[in-house]
């Protein structure tokens, strides 16, 4: 589970995109403003690789994934409540609150994505899709952390059972407890028949 958390966190860090403002051409004023005679280009320099339909489809998949994580964390919260373990319950409840906040932000980003698609705003569409991607990854990490709070792993299949087979060739006696030695007692012959 720790490996999964590290993998998701690493993916989050690697996949987040940084949009930089292009440098001002020579002769323009620095400081983010326009010079008296020139304009500043604030367009996004990166073109999206997904079509509008692919973005919409992927965004819906993100929302479904986040909903599944929220449902799983709620089940974990009930498990902690039934166990009456306040530490686990507080930990899971904290992750649930954070996941709900991120899901709410994802809903806003989805609405903004649809508005930008309707307006044919490519930069806004790319920005909102990037937000959705990052929020989805955050919710997945929160779900993994909630699993860690309870101490359950995604591969948990049941309680541990131990079966022991004893080789029939092993003696039943304990070799660490030696028995009492039996000395052979022979009576000596009578010394004399005289009485």
**Each residue's pLDDT tens digit, 108-138:** 988 888 888 888 888 888 888 888 889 999 9
Position 158 scores a pLDDT of 60
CA distance 20 to 181: 91
Contacts of 21 (CB under 8 A, 6+ apart): 32, 42
């997945």: which residue's tokens?
140
Position 12 scores a pLDDT of 54
**Which strand (E) or helix (H) includes residue 109?**
helix 86-118
Sign of CA dihedral 166, 172, 173, 175: negative
Low-confidence ranges of the chain (pLDDT < 70): 1-38, 40-48, 152-158, 194-195
Position 80 scores a pLDDT of 86
Helix axes 52-83, 86-118, angle to 10 degrees: 160
CA distance 125 to 191: 121
CA distance 24 to 44: 14
DSSP conformation class of 1 = -
Position 28 scores a pLDDT of 47
CB 96 within 8 A of CB 59: no
CA distance 193 to 82: 91
Position 101 scores a pLDDT of 92
Would you give the end-to-end CA distance of the chain in angstroms? Answer: 94
């Amino acid at each position: 589970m720790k490996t999964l958390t590290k993998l998701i966190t690493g993916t989050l860090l690697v996949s987040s995109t940084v949009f930089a403002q292009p440098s001002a051409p020579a002769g323009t004023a620095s400081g983010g403003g326009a010079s008296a005679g020139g304009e500043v280009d604030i367009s996004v320099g990166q073109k999206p690789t997904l079509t509008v339909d692919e973005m919409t489809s992927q965004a819906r998949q993100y929302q479904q994934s986040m909903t599944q994580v929220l449902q799983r964390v709620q089940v974990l919260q009930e498990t902690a409540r039934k166990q009456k373990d306040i530490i686990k319950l507080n930990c899971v409840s904290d992750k649930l609150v954070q996941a709900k906040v991120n899901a709410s932000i994802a809903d806003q980003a989805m609405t903004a994505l649809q508005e930008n698609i309707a307006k044919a705003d490519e930069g806004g569409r790319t920005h909102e899709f990037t937000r959705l991607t990052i929020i989805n990854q955050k919710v997945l990490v929160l779900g993994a952390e909630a699993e860690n709070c309870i101490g359950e792993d995604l591969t948990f299949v049941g309680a541990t059972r131990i079966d022991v087979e004893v080789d029939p060739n092993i003696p039943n006696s304990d070799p660490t407890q030696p028995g009492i030695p039996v000395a052979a007692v022979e009576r000596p012959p009578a010394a004399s028949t005289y009485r």
